[in-house]
Structure 1
């Protein structure tokens, strides 16, 4: 079982690099405002739409940045592959998991998601301030792990039965069944996909790490099976990816483009019901 989440009590503050990823999909400036007011001392800020996505691309609503852009982000953030890194958000949000997945993809082996959100970290006596850190740039060279990434082509092959992977949709059951679609222009799901609503992973803003979640996941897909997770835009699928890894699923990929990318290609079918 891989350790993905870390509680404040488990962290050596002095030996850890912190990344603040607070964000609000309804107010894109909220996270940056919160960061400016107060953040974990020394933490850098990564913005979902400026740092963790390339909004100029058309591969879904939150396309993954090019490797060159990610490498530059890691370097200017002062990161090295062997650093101990904790990524946090407001707690129970998908943004820290998105950043954590990108770090995993790039080969950072000691990166973790904070179990608590910012306010709980502060209450746990993690030092906070409002100073803007000036990291010393590095020349880090990512070691990309393509085995955790799913392209649209890979998902198309999966739908056609050419891979052993099981598609797992992290959206609500109503969106999965195509009964409602508040964001994307076409309702439905990628053909053959199973469903596990990512909201089930948390309780009152804290991720549930106990055996109950493990049992619920096992009822949908077995830990020895290959899994490809997706959601609407690739953001809320990241916590589901993280929880699968936490509970011993070894062969998991994230379709970063997700459903919004799938339906952008003419001819890609969807299922409903």
Structure 2
């Protein structure tokens, strides 16, 4: 098994840098409000829409930030490439927000990052010190070690669809959306042509993201896998679980389906063989 997730009981809290990534897709202000009410002492807050997306772009519903934006985020969060400290990311548990933040840290070359699998309430129950308000952070200065091979853009996905590159597209949305039977968010229903499907919600077990044997029926460890969803958020739990489960070749299409349909046509039903 990999080393992506950690239980709060296994953390050395005196040697941990905390990032709070709680969010609510139905109420974009709720995450910051709950952070200001109570968070792990010393934790900085990363907002899905303000920090982990560039909402001024049109490349999908939660577009990939530019490298300069991410570098500014890392630096104002006071992060360093310190092998002796763990960066622990948490959300409300069983959600895609800590995994999104974790992936953005992987992309920036931070190696010693863990997702606290149980979420905020369990951290609180474990007796980790909490506080309210905001944090005073000493900014850092970084030469960012970008890991570009973790990321695929729309053009890279088009090469897969066209058969120029041999990779597997994995759609993380609910099966009815994948099949094009319903589409509550995007202007056209369906999926990227040729993609397989595994609903990320199947990874949840008692409110915790867990490695699922069912994934082995959909994608194999010797395949090169590109995960996407509607807007690049709920694909990140599958990405993280695949890495936890020892899959070596996994990439994330951050723009995802909502970006794909700005330029290309989806397909409906099960992929044509």
Q: How do 1:210-225 residues align onto structure 2 when only pairs under 5 Å count? A: 213=212, 215-225=213-223
Q: Does structure 1 residue 166 correspond to structure 2 residue 168? A: yes
2-structure distance, mates of 1:234, 1:151: 11
Gaps of at least 5 residues in structure 2 are none
Pick from 225, 229, 245: which aligns with 1:247?
A: 245
Gaps of at least 5 residues in structure 1 are none
2-structure distance, mates of 1:76, 1:269: 40
How far off its partner does 1:208 sit?
Answer: 1.8
Correspondence for 2:131:
129
TM-score of the superposed pair, with normalisation by structure 1: 0.96
Report the count of equivalent residues.
267
Residues 44-101 of structure 1 deviation map (CA, whole Å, 9 limit, x = unaligned): 0011100000000011000011100100110010001224101100001100000000
2-structure distance, mates of 1:33, 1:125: 22
Correspondence for 2:235:
237
TM-score of the superposed pair, with normalisation by structure 2: 0.96
Correspondence for 2:27:
27
1-structure distance, mates of 2:210, 2:106: 21
Correspondence for 1:146:
148
Classify the secondary structure of the residue corresponding to 1:150: coil
Q: Which runs of 4+ in 1 moved over 3 A?
A: none
Q: How do 1:1-273 residues align onto structure 2 when only pairs under 5 Å count? A: 1-82=1-82, 83-209=85-211, 213=212, 215-265=213-263, 268-273=264-269
How far off its partner does 1:131 sit?
Answer: 4.2
Classify the secondary structure of the residue corresponding to 2:202: helix
Q: Is the 8 A contact 2:168 2:196 kept in 1?
A: yes
